[in-house]
């Protein structure tokens, strides 16, 4: 850490000190100097600008270690805000976080559905305006808006949704459009990367630790945190675990390949499989509808599995088995020792997935004789992606990493 701090430009150094204060809770200038490798004089200068800017406040004294009791510093959490938006087909979530990453308010509105992208963005912008007004937040105190989207990103700030139904989004520059409509900086990130940064900002993971977050909503994605930042790859699309092949001769996937995790094990796949089991389908009262259904139907199947319906449990367990094999490959390739399962797909049957993934990694991870692999539940609420999107803003603003290169 110290080496990176010393090498950073002054704006980066300021962000990094701010992040050290955040992650420390309360901290003295001397401790900041020890942790950062910067001289006390440099620390004092930076802290002065942070206090003047209202981002940091003095908050009491530490125990004396001989001389004067050192003044403690802490983040002025309510001084600035980050907005997170998850742009989902079925529901759009908004969250407002303070600069600790704590959710202050959240709100949900109907999803993007089949509306034109510009119409959706205009609606979101209006909703953001109302949301800020309702909570008496001054627009100038909002650092920026993080947007979580499912699908492939391109470098211009659009989302290539890779989906069969939303082709119009493919050429649409979300960052530009929402930035223009709100007057705020916007950063777009895929939902799995948002969830991973959300874990990172939850305070449960140390900066030094690499980890993967498996994000399951309708599909399954993966966010990889390496050296304290999301690993992005050549075009910001790393982590595409949904199109890892588990059966070379398996059923065709929309991506052109066969036997992908996407087509075998996602909530969408579980619902498809349930449809072929007519007794189960009717017993659970599942129906054919558009839009929200996949998640609703999957929730119904997951709940039945958790309460002992053996047909439902078999479907969920098969999905968990296949996910576990994909996670095993990911673990072997990255030599991971920490994995989170996050997103609404794990909200109900999370315990089944957790048990299966843990069991497979304990038994089969190639490095099992060298080190164990910890698997934990991450955030699974409906606002997980939106909260993660707000974390992307904080991460971009408060730490010396650069999003997108």
β-pairing, 211-216 with 186-190?
unpaired
Q: Closest Cα partner for 216 from 108, 364, 341?
A: 341
Instruction: Candidates 46-54, 228-236, 276-284, 294-302: pick the segment binding a second copy (CB under 8 A).
Output: 228-236
Residues 269-288, interacting with a second copy (CB under 8 A): none
- For a second copy, which residue of 226, 306, 354, 377 counts as binding (CB under 8 A)? 226
Q: How far is the CB of 6 from a second copy (least distance, A)?
A: 4
Alpha-carbon distance of 147 to 187, in angstroms, equals: 6
Which residue in 41, 119, 134, 364 binds a second copy (CB under 8 A)?
Answer: 364
**Sign of the Cα pseudo-torsion (196, 202, 204, 209, in order):** positive
Q: Does 11 bind a second copy (CB under 8 A)?
A: no
Nearer to a second copy, 61 or 254 (CB): 254
In the list 19, 31, 240, 379, the residue contacting a second copy (rule: CB under 8 A) is 240
- Residue 381: C-alpha distances to residues 67, 112, 211, 242, 347 (Å): 48, 19, 20, 21, 7
> 86 or 193: whose CB is closer to a second copy?
193
Cβ proximity to a second copy, 5 vs 352, nearer residue = 5
Distances (CA, A) of 212 to 177, 335, 336, 349: 31, 11, 8, 20
Give min distance, CB of 42 to a second copy, in A: 14
* Distances in whole angstroms, Cα of residue 119 to Cα of each of 85, 126, 169: 16, 11, 12
Contact status: 249 vs a second copy (CB under 8 A): yes
Cα first-last separation, the chain: 19
Q: For residues 148-167, which are near a second copy according to CB under 8 A? A: 152, 154, 160, 162
Q: Which residue has the tokens 């206090």?
A: 51
Q: Which of 84, 86, 88 is nearest to 103 (CA)?
A: 84
- Within 297-326, the residues that bind a second copy by CB under 8 A are 321-322, 325-326
Q: Applying CB under 8 A, does 366 fall inside the site for a second copy?
A: yes
Establish if 168 lies at the interface with a second copy (CB under 8 A).
no
User: Applying CB under 8 A, which of residues 127, 168, 176, 210 lies at the interface with a second copy?
Assistant: 210
Closest CB to a second copy among residues 249, 288: 249
For residue 185, the number of C-alpha atoms closer than 13 Å in the C-beta half-sphere is: 15
Q: Does 231 bind a second copy (CB under 8 A)?
A: yes
The verdict on 246 binding a second copy (CB under 8 A) reads: yes
Min. distance of Cβ 252 from a second copy in angstroms? 11
Please give the radius of gyration of the chain, using alpha carbons only, rounded to the nearest integer.
22
Residue in this structure with the two tokens 């407002």, named with its chain if needed: 96
Q: Binding residues for a second copy, per CB under 8 A?
A: 3-9, 12, 152, 154, 160, 162, 210, 222, 226, 231-241, 243-249, 255-257, 321-322, 325-326, 328-330, 332-338, 363-364, 366-367, 369-371
């Amino acid at each position: 850490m110290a080496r990176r701090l010393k090498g950073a430009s002054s704006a980066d150094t300021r962000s990094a000190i701010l992040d050290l204060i955040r992650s420390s809770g309360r901290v003295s200038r001397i401790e900041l100097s020890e942790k950062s490798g910067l001289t006390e004089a440099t620390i004092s200068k930076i802290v002065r600008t942070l206090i003047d800017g209202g981002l940091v406040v003095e908050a009491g004294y530490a125990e004396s270690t001989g001389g004067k009791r050192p003044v403690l510093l802490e983040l002025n959490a309510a001084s600035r805000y980050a907005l997170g938006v998850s742009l989902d087909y079925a529901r759009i979530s908004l969250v407002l976080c303070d600069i600790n990453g704590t959710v202050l308010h959240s709100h949900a509105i109907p999803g993007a559905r089949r509306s034109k992208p510009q119409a959706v963005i205009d609606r979101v912008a209006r909703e953001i305006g109302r949301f800020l007004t309702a909570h008496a937040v001054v627009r100038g105190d909002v650092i920026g808006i993080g947007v979580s989207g499912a699908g492939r990103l391109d470098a211009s700030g659009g989302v290539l949704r890779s989906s069969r139904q939303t082709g119009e989004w493919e050429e649409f520059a979300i960052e530009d459009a929402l930035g223009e409509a709100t007057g705020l900086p916007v950063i777009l990130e895929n939902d799995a990367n948002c969830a991973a940064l959300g874990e990172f900002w939850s305070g449960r993971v140390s900066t030094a630790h690499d980890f993967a977050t498996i994000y399951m909503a309708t599909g399954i994605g993966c966010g990889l945190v390496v050296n304290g930042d999301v690993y992005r790859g050549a075009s910001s699309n790393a982590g595409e675990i949904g199109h890892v092949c588990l059966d070379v001769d398996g059923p065709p996937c929309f991506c052109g390949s066969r036997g992908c995790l996407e087509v075998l094990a996602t909530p969408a796949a579980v619902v498809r499989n349930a449809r072929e089991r007519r007794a189960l389908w009717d017993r659970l009262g599942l129906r054919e509808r558009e839009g929200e259904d996949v998640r609703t139907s999957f929730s119904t199947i997951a709940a039945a599995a958790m309460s002992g319906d053996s047909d439902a449990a078999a479907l969920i367990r098969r999905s968990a088995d296949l996910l576990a094999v994909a996670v095993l490959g990911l673990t072997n390739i990255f030599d991971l020792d920490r994995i989170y399962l996050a997103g609404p797909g794990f909200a109900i049957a999370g315990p089944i997935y957790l048990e299966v993934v843990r069991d497979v990694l304990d038994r089969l991870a190639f490095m099992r004789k060298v080190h164990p692999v910890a698997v934990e539940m991450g955030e699974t609420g409906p606002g997980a992606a939106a909260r993660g999107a707000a974390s992307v803003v904080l991460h971009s603003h408060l730490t010396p990493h650069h999003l997108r290169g």
